[in-house]
Amino acid sequence: MPQTFDFFYDLGSPYSYLASTQLAGIEQRTGANARLLPITLGGLRKATGHQVPPPQQLKYMSEDTARWAHQYGVPMQIPRAFPISTIQALRACIAADRRERGAEAMHALFGAYWADGEDISDGSVIERALARAGLDGKGLVAATHLQEIKDALRKNTDLALARGVFGVPTLFVGERSFWGNDRLHFAEAELRRQI
């Protein structure tokens, strides 16, 4: 049985947020742990030639994410500041992961943005959200300026591209990929098959 499965995400993706709320359940039911891999969706789009979604798709996404949030029983809103640069917040997640607190940072920042509507492109907002989660917000925000943290985010994005990721969230069970919040059940079934 696989001990881990990979979860590629960007904090600016509403579907990544929704999928992140389901990871603990998948872990509990399968015994496998999520390996969290923050990437830059903008970097992915640039490399693959995908454009920002048109207004019609954004309208649909707003309605669709509200349906998923209701189904999952989680808070959700499209923040006033959308889309935003999530690079610093993603780097904070990488810095937290190096302290074995990556999941807490990811959930804190997803919640700050998608549940509370806070602008996580602002370093002070990142710091406060992490501190509310019991993390060293100031230290983690300071770490976002370290070259090794910047490089790690770039390497995660390069890894995603090398593995054929074209959008987020994408989960990998071994080398099988599952793209989208609506494919979580397929990923979980694959984990169960490999037990």
Q: What is the CB neighbour count within 10 angstroms for residue 181? A: 22
Residues 131-144: tens digit of each pLDDT: 999 999 999 999 99
Residues 77-123: tens digit of each pLDDT: 999 998 899 999 999 999 999 999 999 999 999 999 999 999 999 99
Residues 28-64: tens digit of each pLDDT: 999 999 999 999 998 877 777 766 667 787 889 899 9
Listed residue (146, 70, 144, 79) closest to 111, CA to CA = 79
| Domains of the chain with bracketed CATH | 4-193 (3.40.30.10)
Tokens of 5: 């499965």
